[in-house]
Chain A
Amino acid sequence: MAKMVNIEIDGLPIQAEEGRNLIQVAKENGFFIPSLCYYENMDPPLGTCRTCTCRINGKPGPACTEKVREGMQVEVNKADLVDMRKSIIEMMFSEGNHFCPSCEKSGNCDLQHIAYELEISHTRFPHLFKDRLIDYNSKRMVMEHNRCIKCRRCVEEVLTDDGKRVFMYMNRGNETFVGIDYEQEAKLSEEQAINAMNICPTGTIIVKGKSFSKPFGQRAFDLSSSQKNYGKKPVKLSRGAVMEKKIVATASLAGCFGCHMSLLDVDTDLLDLIELVEFNKSPLTDIKKFAHRCHIGIIEGGCCNDENIEVLREFREKCDILVSLGECSIWGGLPAMRNTVPLGECLEEAYLNSFSNDAAKSTIPYHEDIPKLLNRVYACSEIVKIDYFIPGCPPSAGHIWKAIKNLLWHEEYSILYSEFKYD
């Protein structure tokens, strides 16, 4: 029987066996500490992702690399620590190229799940859009390097029957990626291969033909939160003002109009909405110019050309509150898939080299009346100050409606786990 020691987590006295992993002890005592690289019985623990950063005896550090000792004082849920953990997850999103709506792993992805749990609506960091290759060479697996968070799980855990590694880090610094050994991969059984896909906390390791066995919407993290009190805290975005008819403007920049469609999914509430708000400049009303100042501007899509930027700047000047609606507006979204490739290559592929083009007649369009394409797609927040972000592709109607009501009339609401999504 191991020696029992006394520790404190957020002021709560806890008894635990000496030398056990702190993250495990915290979990067993009802503390939610997000983690990605950690899994049980790993000795020594990996300590790579840093998502479980807490404060231990006054010093910040990850819980997963701490052994429980007598008198240990642990802080978990202090505001600065919650924010730091959020920032680390945000870093992963801005460092990789994570397009949730087109990812096989969406709904089964630990990274996405933790981001939902932490209610991350946008990243404070600019997305880096580093160009990364996708490795299709292995017979059975695809290595989607855009999505890798370098947690080391696969490196340590996926071994062939004769004990050889299948995955290993390559390069170093910001060029680091996880390489796959085709020869060793071929030795894995189907079960082992699927296990490799499953222990990957993101959609980096994909086994061909095996990634869609469960439909979207019914996947591991689609429905319920790991936290008992998720969404129990009422959200209040803005405060103080009177009930009056509000004026709303909307725009779709580099987007697909899907967010506007989702807005229409408010259904019968639309009848209430019409009583409560007046739409000014918006594709819904086909009003092209601002007639007067608006209380709220809702922007769908990011900026891919100079006209988008002009429109967005005008919205900022004419609206009190500006909201980014949906992934494209928040960080570029699907149109930003081109951001890792130089503009010239994109244009030449689309207008000159594609199969459906007649090479002799093809040309890249350029005219003073056509908006000029930017070198990449920009997030709205890189162009103007954005006040609020509503994530989703598209955001669910229920979530949009609640957030907008709250912004305009300060009605409190709860975020539902099932409504807060990136895909």
Chain B
Amino acid sequence: MYQPGTDRLFEVEPLSSYLLNELRDIQMSEGYISDEKISSLAHKYDISKVEVEGVVTFYHFLHRKPTGRHVVYLNNSLTSVIKGYERVKESFERETGALMGSVDRTGTFGLFSTPCIGLSDQEPAALIDFYPFINLNAIKVKDIINSIKQGASPADICDYPADNIRYTPISGSVFFSDFKEGLSLENAFRLSPEEIIEELKKSQLAGRGGAFFPTWMKWDATRKQESRLKFIICNADEGEPGTFKDRVLINSQAAMLIEGMIIGGNTAGASYGIIYLRGEYLWLEEKLNTKIQEYYQKGLLGKNIGGKAGFDFDLRIQMGAGAYVCGEETALLESMEGKRGEPRTKWYLPVEKGYLQMPTIINNVETFCAVARIFEQGLESYCEKGIPGSPGTKIISVSGDCSLPGIYEIEWGMTVAELLELCEANNPYFIQVSGPSGECISMKEKYRRISMLDLLARKDIRCGGALTVYNSDRDLIMILSKYAEFFKHESCGICTPCRAGNYLIERKLDKLKNGLASGEDLEDIKSWANIMKASSRCGLGKTAPNSMIMAMEKFADYFYKRLYPTDNQHEGIVAFDMEAAIADYEKYKN
């Protein structure tokens, strides 16, 4: 029997699913995973040592070397760079005495950089012992480190980030208005699973993680699977740089998420739910857990939920350990099973063979919240919002060069221009929608609507949840290189086009940065990016070069200006920086 609050695994889950938890615990208590621990874990889980080590080295919050008594993870995403990453980094290095990527001599502080930690509206931000510290600057860093040196605990002095909900629709908010706890369950339990599916079909709700796969189809497919064991999984691993909507939802509306998952369990015939929370959001775990316990006490989780005989549903949280690719649903499944987070092939779908090879529904936080609201307030009030074919609202995390970064819940159908005005972006030039793997747009397209209609209408923009604004004084090539570098590190590394492709494109961008690229190099980038798109194994590799391809079309002039000047070129001679190439040797000139 699963004991909520104490057990960290359901009785139906095998021990192997516990490995990631155990590794995290060791990391937190000892600061690293030693050889001895690897050996003892291999023994305990009856696997080879190399397998344990494979898991450890996959996740960037697990270390094989000591990380010091306090671990600082400073976010190095682009938004952080824009807001002053370099100076904050220097300040951390000076105050802690540790160089980036290492531990200081006394073993007190470990200083590491990490990609987006979901605080793009309050950058530069860092996690110290996984507690958030926001809006950092050199002086603030000095104070923080001094306090810690004097014995303060990061838990006591950290900043709990503001939700920064800047805008909700005038017609009423789907996500952020008061939520009457239990009502959605009451209403949903009155309906049969078929009727629930029918309601969802009418709502046209589609996966809010960014793929926009119709929610009812996923639920219906899982429902129809004959299996004694099914799972409902919430993907709360929002790793797409610039996205922080799930953070705010979990912080402010955890009840909605829980109820959405319970409705999923009721509909699909699943009795277990797991929230996979990204490692960066450890500071949210306690709050979410408290809410879950509350639901157990109210009889809305556990056995015979809400007095509904025979409907049992248990819910637990699984913490991630730092890997962007685990946001890919099948990689997330692998990670939950205590393995490296490598995406699976599409040989089986999660609805057929998902977690532990059992039928599984995986949805984003926002999707489950929307479900709960639909059953709480009724379909009608949900469908009144938005536009025909794309009803409802969407939460967008806005960051970058604007005065009011934060959460914007917009009705589907709002134009980019309106959103830019709301967030007070004064000089926008390059706008990245849905993060690096999404789409970039120029100001020529500012009147495009944000909706789910993209595939049909072609003119609308689908937005997974982030909008990052860049001013005209930002270096576009630098932005794209940073994206390529991000994907190079975050690729799971097992398929060729993604592992090598991101690396190769980064090299080409270096050439462009150094002013040595020719028109042919631009053609190469385009053609290589298309190879990656067509042949990569999962969404990561398929979408990684999107912005690159689009930027080269939409900002063609910008790229041409950065090429090696044609009047310096001789027929057939490739631009080459001889001085740089012999610089190493010149050091030996007496």
Interface positions of A (Cβ within 8 A of B)? 43-51, 53, 60, 62, 65, 67, 84, 87-88, 91-92, 94-95, 124-126, 128, 149-150, 152, 160, 164-176, 179-181, 183-184, 306, 309, 313, 316-317, 322, 342-344, 347, 364, 366, 372-375, 378, 381-385
Contacts and interface: CB of A to CB of B under 8 A. Distances in A.
Nearest to A385: B572
Contacts of B528: 87, 125
Nearest to B493: A176
21 contacts: A49-B495, A67-B347, A87-B528, A92-B496, A125-B504, A125-B528, A169-B340, A172-B490, A172-B492, A173-B489, A181-B50, A183-B49, A309-B576, A316-B572, A343-B585, A344-B584, A372-B582, A374-B581, A375-B580, A375-B582, A378-B581
Contacts of A67: 347
Nearest to B506: A174
B488 A373 contact: no
Nearest to B504: A125
B490 A173 contact: yes
Interface in B550-569: none
Contacts of B580: 375
A344 B581 CA distance: 13
Contacts of B54: 168-170, 179
B535 A50 contact: yes
A169 B493 contact: yes
Contacts of A125: 500, 504, 528
A75 B405 CA distance: 48
B537 A50 contact: yes
B498 to A, nearest CB: 9
A166 B42 CA distance: 13
A179 B495 CA distance: 17
Interface of B: 46-51, 53-54, 57-58, 323, 325, 340, 342, 344-348, 488-497, 499-504, 507, 524, 528, 531, 534-537, 570-574, 576, 578, 580-590
Contacts of A173: 488-493, 499, 502
A84 B534 contact: yes
B574 A384 contact: yes
Given A46-B345, A174-B488, A176-B494, 12 more contacts: A44-B345, A88-B535, A125-B528, A160-B48, A166-B48, A173-B489, A173-B502, A184-B49, A317-B571, A366-B588, A375-B581, A381-B574
B347 A95 contact: no
B583 A174 contact: no
The 9 lowest CB-CB distance pairs between A and B, nearest first, are A176-B493, A181-B50, A44-B347, A168-B54, A95-B500, A47-B345, A60-B534, A385-B572, A343-B584
B507 A45 contact: no
Contact of A44 (B348, B576, B581, B584): B348
Nearest to B58: A172
A166 B54 CA distance: 12
A306 B493 contact: no
A166 B51 CA distance: 8
A216 B65 CA distance: 44
Contact of A50 (B492, B496, B507): B496
A84 B531 contact: yes
Contacts of A95: 496, 499-500, 503-504
A171 B573 contact: no
Given A316-B572, A372-B586, A169 B503 contact: no
Contacts of A373: 582, 584-585
Contacts of A169: 54, 58, 340, 342, 493-494
Contacts of B588: 347, 364, 366
Contacts of A171: 57-58, 493
B353 to A, nearest CB: 9
Contacts, number: 202
A150 B582 contact: no
A398 to B, nearest CB: 29
Interface-central residue, A91, A124, A179, A183, by most chain B CB under 10 Å: A91
Contacts of A175: 489, 493
B494 A174 contact: no
B582 A168 contact: no
A53 B534 contact: yes
A51 B537 CA distance: 11
A154 B169 CA distance: 55
A172 B348 CA distance: 24
Nearest to B531: A87
B493 A174 contact: yes
B575 to A, nearest CB: 10
Contact of B501 (A45, A91, A317, A382): A91
Contacts of A94: 500, 504
B497 A91 contact: yes
A5 B491 CA distance: 37
A181 B574 contact: no
B573 A150 contact: no
Given A176-B493, A179-B54, A44 B582 contact: no
Given A88-B496, A171-B58, A176-B499, A65 B346 contact: yes
Nearest to A386: B572
Nearest to A53: B535
Contacts of A378: 581
B499 A174 contact: yes
Given A48-B494, A174-B488, A383 B585 contact: no
B572 A384 contact: yes
A343 B587 CA distance: 11
Contacts of B578: 306, 309
A344 B585 CA distance: 8
B496 A149 contact: yes
Contacts of A160: 48
A291 B346 CA distance: 63
A384 B492 CA distance: 36
A39 B322 CA distance: 33
B392 to A, nearest CB: 29
B576 to A, nearest CB: 6
B497 A50 contact: yes
A172 B582 contact: no
A317 B499 contact: no
B50 A180 contact: yes
Contacts of B50: 165-168, 170, 179-181, 184
Contacts of B491: 172-174
Given A172-B491, A347-B588, A181 B49 contact: yes
Contact of B584 (A46, A181, A375): A375
Contacts of B494: 48, 150, 152, 169, 176
B465 to A, nearest CB: 24
A184 B47 CA distance: 10
B531 A168 contact: no
B535 A45 contact: no
A372 B585 contact: yes
A25 B47 CA distance: 36
A167 B53 CA distance: 11
A49 B587 contact: no
Nearest to A89: B496
Interface-central residue, B502, B503, B507, B570, by most chain A CB under 10 Å: B503
B375 to A, nearest CB: 36
A384 B569 CA distance: 11
A398 B499 CA distance: 38
A381 B584 CA distance: 22
Given A88-B531, A172-B492, A179-B54, A306 B340 contact: no
Contacts of B346: 65
